[in-house]
Structure 1
Amino acid sequence: MKFKDFSRYFSNARVNRYSIATGNSNSKAIKLYKANLKIAQSFHPLLGILEVILRNGINDVLTLHFSDPNWIVNQKSGFMSDPSLTLIDKRTGQKKTNDFLKREVNKAEQRLRKTGTTITSGKIIAEQTLGFWTDLFEAHHYKLLKGKPIQIFSNIPKGYGRKDINNALTKIRRFRNRINHNEPICFAGNSINFTLTIEIYDSIIDVLSWIDPQLVILVKDLDKVKKTIKAAMKI
């Protein structure tokens, strides 16, 4: 494909950054753009596995904690509506309620209704995003849940805790959002740089190992991230 057509299809503003990073080489700019997509693609198996394991593990823990397999529905009027989640904004003097979890459950129910799908707790759980599960490690919800979510991390290193898990999951979630929106993950400024991308990869492996080191072994044959990054660095 001619470079002018490539730029037109993917927008001059977006492609220009790839051109600058490759010394205004049209062929290398296209190669880097495609390499960025390949790296993003290589993350999807790891992200998918992490999200499923996190979701299932937390669901098991909270089902036991509440003695209720339908906790995700019934707790809309429980800890998700706790008075401690409503605070007075010091700047505006207005009440501010953190009802993120409840809103996400309501949204899932609405999506299921629109498709004529029978609403079950299992389907609502499957609808939840990584952001929902990550938010359970925010201090306010974590306290209301008496710290139960951390139980899935049976191999977390000594000295690590809620904050470390929350920080790692938040970074991973933001990165996942970037690749889902086709944002570049191969730059630092206008230079080719994979430092942040490698840091996110390391965080994913860390989180999996904190749950169970066997998970790292399980994903080994699916893990093409570093190999794909190495190929991109040769451009």
Structure 2
Amino acid sequence: MDWSDLERHFSSARLGRYRAACDGDESRAARAYVNNLLLAEATMPMLNDIEIALKNGVHQRLTTLYLRTDWWEAWTNNASFAWQVREVGNAKVKLQRRAEALTPDKIIAELAFGFWSSLFNVHFQSILWKDLRLVFPRCPKSQRQRHTVSSALNQIRELRNRVFHHEQLLWLTPALIDLHTKGVEVIGWLDPKLPPWLAGHDRLPATWFAVQPI
């Protein structure tokens, strides 16, 4: 397909960002768009591993803290958790629309990454951090601070949103490869056995260097 075909299907506004980054060279811009697709695909294993391992780690800690697998129900009348309670409610509505059971496992799976990263926000410092820091048993003591963990998770959350909304990944600051490195580091804080396992199916580093320079 030529450039006009691509613009017709993917919009001139979306492709215009690539053309501008490539100094108006439409051939380079078209290659950059394809490379961006390949990078998005290659980012998925890291995002998958960190999101699922994080939510399960948090679930285990909060189940222990509240002595119930539906620990979010303990927040129902607590104003500090108003947003989180709404998110749980939204998850339940989605499950009901699909005629799925409202089990803890189903609700946990339905909650987005933003829900989990929000539990490390500053206003939960005195409420949850003492327990949630145990989700990261291998995080170096000098880095096992709420603000450090929260910052890392928010970077990964923003990257995840870019990938899932099909936005450009080629010219980020920090660079995609550095965000990937941070994600792998956080995964190692959860369990040092996970990064070597991830490396066996993680194509992001190879894909990143294969598409440079654009």
Q: Please name the residue that 1:101 is paired with.
A: 84
Q: Please name the residue that 2:132 is paired with.
A: 149
Q: Please name the residue that 2:122 is paired with.
A: 139
Cα separation, 1, equivalents of 2:193 and 2:96: 39
Cα separation, 2, equivalents of 1:195 and 1:138: 22
- Residue among 74, 78, 84 paired with 1:82: 78
- Residue among 191, 195, 198 paired with 2:177: 198
Cα separation, 1, equivalents of 2:99 and 2:158: 32
Distance 1:117 1:147, change over 3 A: same
Cα separation, 1, equivalents of 2:90 and 2:23: 46
Cα separation, 2, equivalents of 1:123 and 1:166: 25
Kindly provide the CA deviation profile for residues 98-149 of structure 1, in whole angstroms up to 9, marking residues without a partner as x: 6110001101111111122221122111111111111111122342225211
User: Which of the pair is proportionally richer in strand?
Assistant: 1
TM-score (norm 1): 0.85
Identity, in percent, stands at 31
Moved over 3 A (4+): none
Q: Please name the residue that 1:49 is paired with.
A: 49
Q: Is the 8 A contact 2:129 2:146 kept in 1?
A: no
Q: What do you get for the CA RMSD once the two structures are aligned? A: 1.7
**Which sits farther off after the overlay, 14-23 or 1-10?**
14-23
- How many equivalent pairs are there? 213
- Residue among 163, 167, 176 paired with 1:179: 163
Task: Please tell me whether residue 70 in structure 1 is matched to residue 53 in structure 2.
Answer: no
Q: Is the 8 A contact 2:120 2:129 kept in 1?
A: no
Q: Is the 8 A contact 2:138 2:190 kept in 1?
A: yes
Q: Please name the residue that 1:26 is paired with.
A: 26
Give the drift of 1:155: 0.8
Q: Is the 8 A contact 1:136 1:142 kept in 2?
A: no
Unaligned runs of 5+ in 1: 86-97, 189-193
Unaligned runs of 5+ in 2: none
